[in-house]
Amino acid sequence: MPIKSFSKSSILEYAKYSSLLAGNARFRLPGVAGYAAGGYSSDYVSTVDKFAFPSDSKSTLATGLSAGTNDSGGMYNQNVAGYSGGGDSGSATAVVDKFTFPADTRTTLGTGLSVARLSPTGFSNSGTAGYIAGGGGGTVVDKFAFPTDSRTTLGTGLSVGRSALCGFSNTDVAGYAAGGSGFSAVVDKFAFPSDSRTTLATGLSSARLGTAGMSNQTVAGYAAGGYTGSRVTTVDKFAFPSDTRTTLGTGLSSARMYIAGFSNSAVAGYSAGGSAAPVTSAVDKFAFPADTRTTLGTGLTAAIEGPTGFQDAA
């Protein structure tokens, strides 16, 4: 069969169109993988597990975190890099590790968090910026502009200081910081690109800490599991753009807290590991849009609490 030839003008038009798609954040490439990084399993863990989409096959990165770190905040820039910032490495840390896609090579940012803090969360406006919010009971929200990773700190932080909260995002629209220490039900919303903050009239269905955040871009964000005085299986869903909350009929496969969350937007959200009395390696998968739950045949490489999640996906 002869190879079809293309005119110079058609090639130029294709290149122009492809460039426009790449520059328009509303055109998303298919998801590549989700990651669960660090945590605690008899000691602080530096391991980073990678789950390839759509097969969910697991591999473990040859290079993990720069130090074993528990309960950090994750953020991402699709097709560029994922980040793990702050957390507990025996004491509060300000370190931000960056994993460049697709090779997953790790560097550590020259400028870390504005202050070392325990148990922050992360959310992202992929292509524009990532955010590390709260931690150590504080209200601070640091913003890292992509692709330079330069850091600023928002003038308006969280509405109330807290740690062990979860983050989820609706890229191009808003990032959310939900729940946290003090048994909070508060959900703060940061509108992109202004980063102005409002607080949702309806928060979590129960005040809790240690939840996992997942996102289905333009559709909904999720807060899974947590601790209310006891561990729960609850998964709350916030529909975009109204932010109305429902609670899934089927929650996590086991009650647990301090869980990693990552997503393959339009396909599925994942809740990985966590403290389930005992600690678990289980990875639950919620298929979008039905939100039906299955549990992966292969979980984390070890039972780990306090991993953080990020993704190479919208």
Coil, strand, or helix at residue 18?
helix
Closest CA to 38 of 102, 94, 83: 83
Distances (CA, A) of 136 to 72, 117, 169, 210, 227: 11, 5, 22, 13, 17
153-161: long-range pairs with CB below 8 Å, 24+: 153/114, 154/190, 154/195, 154/197, 156/195, 156/196, 156/197, 157/133, 157/197, 158/133, 158/134, 158/188, 158/197, 159/186, 159/188, 159/197, 159/199, 160/184, 160/186, 161/134, 161/137
Please say whether the beta carbons of 286 and 237 come within 8 A.
no
225-254 confidence digits (pLDDT tens): 999 999 999 999 999 999 999 999 999 999
pLDDT of residue 10: 44
Q: What angle do CA 90, 304, 206 make, to 5 degrees?
A: 95
Q: Is residue 1 part of a domain?
A: no
Host H or E run for residue 49? strand 44-52
Q: Is residue 145 part of a domain?
A: yes
* Residue 52: Cβ within 10 Å count: 14
Tokens coding 144: 């890292």
Residue 306: which CATH number? 2.120.10.80
Distance, in Å, from the CA atom of 138 to the CA atom of 91, rounded to the nearest integer, reads 16
Q: Is residue 100 part of a domain?
A: yes
Host H or E run for residue 34? strand 33-40
pLDDT of residue 145: 98
CA dihedral 20, 26, 30, 36 (to 10 degrees): 130
Instruction: Give residue for tokens 């966590």.
Output: 274
Please say whether the beta carbons of 201 and 195 come within 8 A.
no
- DSSP tag of 305: B
For residue 158, give its domain range.
32-312
304-313 confidence digits (pLDDT tens): 999 999 999 9
298 pLDDT higher than 80: yes
Give the total number of structural domains in the chain: 1
Q: Give the torsion sign (CA, 265, 193, 239, 140).
A: positive
Q: Where are the alpha helices (DSSP H) in the chain?
A: 8-23
Q: Which of 2-6, 250-254, 279-283 has the lowest mean pLDDT?
A: 2-6
CA dihedral 253, 40, 65, 59 (to 10 degrees): -40
CA dihedral 207, 213, 307, 101 (to 10 degrees): -160
Q: Is residue 22 part of a domain?
A: no
Instruction: Give residue for tokens 């030839």.
Output: 5
Distance, in Å, from the CA atom of 44 to the CA atom of 305, rounded to the nearest integer, reads 10
11-26 confidence digits (pLDDT tens): 334 343 333 333 444 4
Distance, in Å, from the CA atom of 166 to the CA atom of 222, rounded to the nearest integer, reads 9
Q: How confident is the model at residue 111 (pLDDT cuts 50, 70, 90)?
A: very high
CA dihedral 201, 202, 208, 210 (to 10 degrees): -90
pLDDT of residue 27: 55
Task: Specify which residues 76 forms β-bridges with.
Answer: 82
pLDDT of residue 29: 80
Q: Is residue 81 part of a domain?
A: yes
Mean pLDDT of 98-113: 98
Q: Is residue 12 part of a domain?
A: no
Q: Is residue 221 part of a domain?
A: yes
pLDDT of residue 30: 85
Q: Is residue 43 part of a domain?
A: yes
pLDDT of residue 11: 38
